[in-house]
A and B are shown apart, each in its own frame.
Chain A
Amino acid sequence: MNNILEVHSLNKKYDGFSLKDISFAVPQGYIMGFIGPNGAGKTTTIKSMLNMINYQSGEIKLLQTNSKEGAGRINEQVGVVMDTPFYVGDWRIRDVEKAVSPFYTHWSHETYISLLKRFDIAQTKKVKELSHGMKVKLMLAVALSHKAKLLILDEPTSGLDPVARDELCDMLSEFVQDENHGILFSTHITADLEKIADYITFILDGRIVFTGLKETLLEQYVLVKGGLDEIGGEQKKLIVGLREHNTGFEGMVPSSHIAKLPKNLSIEPITLEDIIIFMNKGAN
């Protein structure tokens, strides 16, 4: 199985924050969810991939080509949707096509127009007149109109209503039906990833804490709940991100440690959102 995106030992240092030895890979034909709390380094990693920022060390391969060496041609096969669009606010929607299409060898005017119709975006509108959700849809229309093989999405669903999010998820699932395609999907709305992601990469404080199959991550931890008197001091140490309140406690425990906990505790399957919350709490 080939990887459509590979990140090897990426390091980027800012004052007060750094990406430390980031490594992960997105296999062809799959969707990878890129999760982590705010400020964990998701956008910095994505910007490094797209050569928007300079990094100190590491190697990034997009479609098996070094992203720095192939910067002049590889990005053409990459569709990008960021949380805010890069288009000039005073451009009309038809100007967006005039501006970007010359840079794509495989630009399809028909696809662009049909996607605009599907998203209900009038060509005469100015970019600044679109709502946040519509701007995201415009970026998606561009990303899907040049026959990209890899989609990199940074918080694309944050401004979308549930219906539009569901539609987007369907489109992304459709996109990876072609086994030469792949998606890196960074989002806070982990429910979307639970629905469509095959792999998860979890970043926390500039480090990768997990990368692999989504099921593996969800099987690796469980949610534990119980009364305050049901657990001892040593057992508390096994709990990641322990949260205590008047009536009891809750936290996340590695599945391998369940046997070390009292039998009467409530053990539930965990969600991606819980993992982010408890991991972040544990790290703090």
Chain B
Amino acid sequence: MTKILSFVKLDFITVKPYFTLKNLFILIAVSFIMMWSTGENASVIGIIMVFAALYVTYPFAVGEQNGIDALYATLSIKRNAVVLGRYLFAFIMDICAGVIACVLSFVLCALLQKGFDIRETAIVILTMFFVFSILQAFQLPIYFALGYAKAKFAAYLPFLGFPLVILGFSRLLKDSGFMKQLSALPEWIAENPVIAVLFGVVFWLAMMTVSYRLSVSFYKKRDF
């Protein structure tokens, strides 16, 4: 476990040179514009989660450029520890993004004199966290299988494909009973929050486990 935590630290050191003030200003400026134009703090949260998703890919990009996978071998880090550490890094990045999103939303709401509902913000952050980490569960095995340069395009397909799939399904099933049942989902969640959260957690864990195992099997086959 110590080695996995050290690996997470190594990932943070790998991306640290790219946590620049310039990127922070861009993040704040984009968030401010989104908040000002939409009046919704959900857009701010979305932008920050996208930034986090980009940073999660940095260890692959920076690592590939510098041959860092070979370094992991010289440091006695087993390949499954590399994969687990990277998933933990992604998880922590998403958590940090959630916290930053909450704070930035609060500050921007105060600056633009808009109402800030902590409960609503928390629900949006949790939902975004869920969606983004599921998308990462699709994305990470592709990076572990192909490396950053080859996977770059394919790995963004889940992000592009997700809204399209949602749109496609809603059009296809527009008049079916399934859509009526689906539209009743928010109401059901509101009535059964514990079961909904429990189901979400189990689904998330299952997705992560499958994704992790795929990543390990792909990564073990690679030569550096």
B residues near A, CB below 8 A? Answer: 2-3, 6, 9-10, 13-14, 16-18, 62-63, 65-71, 73-78, 81, 220-221, 223-224
Contact = CB atoms under 8 A, between A and B. Distances in A.
A91 B62 CA distance: 11
Interface centre among B69, B74, B220, by most A CB within 10 Å? B74
Interface of A: 47, 50-54, 71-76, 78, 80, 82, 84, 86-91, 95, 98-100, 102-104
A52 B71 CA distance: 9
A75 B16 contact: no
A115 to B, nearest CB: 17
B65 A89 contact: yes
Contacts of A84: 67
A52 B77 contact: no
Given A47-B224, A98-B13, A99-B13, A86 B70 contact: yes
Given A74-B76, A102-B2, 9 more contacts: A50-B70, A71-B78, A75-B74, A86-B66, A87-B68, A87-B71, A90-B18, A98-B13, A103-B3
B66 A54 contact: no
Contacts of A76: 75-76
A50 B223 contact: no
B66 A87 contact: yes
Nearest to A77: B76
Nearest to B63: A88
Nearest to B11: A99
B117 to A, nearest CB: 41
Contacts of B63: 88
Given A52-B223, A99-B13, A75 B73 contact: yes
A91 B70 contact: no
14 contacts: A52-B70, A53-B223, A72-B76, A72-B81, A78-B74, A86-B66, A86-B68, A88-B17, A88-B62, A89-B66, A90-B17, A99-B10, A99-B14, A102-B2
Contacts of B71: 86-87, 100
Contact of B223 (A54, A80, A91, A98): A54
Contacts of B74: 50, 75, 78, 80, 86
Nearest to B77: A103
